[in-house]
Amino acid sequence: MTTLWMIEDLEPWPDEPKVGQVCEPTTYWVTPEMMDLPAELVCTIPARVEAIETGDRVERMAHLHDVFTTMLPAGLDATGDTMLTGCLMWDRYLWTDFRTQPAGRVLVTERVPLIQRSTRSTVEQPGWYTSSYEGPRIMHRASTIPEGHDVVAYALSVRLL
């Protein structure tokens, strides 16, 4: 069984995956060049990439161990047998960017906050603020978030089923 990391975005959604839960996430592949990824999240995995014509464009879908598929964003133009370096990104709104829908199931084995240094600025509405982020994203396994940091995503260790 293959285990790798998947970033869960903070989009509003009624589910919050828990350790031990089986999910069917819609994902795309991210690389260290595309996103500031903590080194712990990055892996290299064999994949078979197929090009799928969707009318006005070509979408690329990677098959991971013949049990899970994930979409490749523009710029990752591999086709056929290749190696992918990076991690999965769970995008609950993936259907807005791709016509092809990836499929597969995963078992969540760990859920860790990704934190980043933040500066908060007040806005006109009382009690509201905006945040600006700087520095690297860090996997934070401790129970409390340090002062001056915010959770920017969650990293899920998942086993492909």
Q: Report how far residue 132's alpha carbon sits from residue 150's, in angstroms, rounded to the nearest whole number.
A: 10
- CB distance 132 to 118 below 8 Å: yes
Instruction: Report the pLDDT value the prediction gives residue 62, as an integer from 0 to 100.
Output: 98
The sign of the dihedral angle between the CA atoms of 56, 33, 28, 17 is negative
pLDDT along the chain (161 residues), means of 10: 90 81 95 94 97 93 96 91 97 90 96 95 91 95 93 96 95
Please choose, from the candidates 26, 23, 6, the residue with its C-alpha nearest in 3D space to the C-alpha of residue 99. 26
Which helix (H) or strand (E) segment holds residue 134: the answer is strand 129-139
Residue 124 lies in a domain: yes
Clarify whether residues 96 and 120 are in a common domain.
Answer: no
Q: pTM here?
A: 0.91
Clarify whether residues 49 and 98 are in a common domain.
Answer: yes
Residue 160 lies in a domain: no
Residue 87 lies in a domain: yes
Instruction: Report the pLDDT value the prediction gives residue 10, as an integer from 0 to 100.
Output: 78
- CB distance 62 to 69 below 8 Å: yes
The residue range of the domain holding 129 is 113-153
Clarify whether residues 61 and 129 are in a common domain.
Answer: no
Clarify whether residues 26 and 100 are in a common domain.
Answer: yes
Q: Report how far residue 134's alpha carbon sits from residue 149's, in angstroms, rounded to the nearest whole number.
A: 10
Residue 77 lies in a domain: yes
For the segment 80-102, what is each residue's pLDDT rounded down to a tens digit?
Answer: 999 999 999 999 889 898 999 99
Clarify whether residues 56 and 75 are in a common domain.
Answer: yes
Q: Report how far residue 4's alpha carbon sits from residue 17's, in angstroms, rounded to the nearest whole number.
A: 16
Clarify whether residues 18 and 96 are in a common domain.
Answer: yes
Clarify whether residues 134 and 99 are in a common domain.
Answer: no
DSSP 8-state symbol, 39? G
Instruction: Report the pLDDT value the prediction gives residue 55, as an integer from 0 to 100.
Output: 87
Instruction: Report the pLDDT value the prediction gives residue 33, as an integer from 0 to 100.
Output: 93
Establish how many alpha carbons lie within 13 A of residue 160's alpha carbon, considering only the half-sphere containing its beta carbon: 19
Clarify whether residues 88 and 133 are in a common domain.
Answer: no
Instruction: Report the pLDDT value the prediction gives residue 74, as an integer from 0 to 100.
Output: 87
Instruction: Report the pLDDT value the prediction gives residue 77, as an integer from 0 to 100.
Output: 87
Instruction: Report the pLDDT value the prediction gives residue 15, as an integer from 0 to 100.
Output: 72
Residue 68 lies in a domain: yes
Clarify whether residues 140 and 128 are in a common domain.
Answer: yes
Into how many domains does the chain fold? 2
Q: Report how far residue 43's alpha carbon sits from residue 110's, in angstroms, rounded to the nearest whole number.
A: 16
Instruction: Report the pLDDT value the prediction gives residue 14, as an integer from 0 to 100.
Output: 66
Clarify whether residues 76 and 9 are in a common domain.
Answer: yes
Residue 21 lies in a domain: yes
Residue 7 lies in a domain: yes
Query: What is the 3-state secondary structure of 50-105?
Result: EEEECCCCEEEEEEECCCEEEEECCCCCCCEEEEEEEEEEECCCHHHCCCCCCCCC
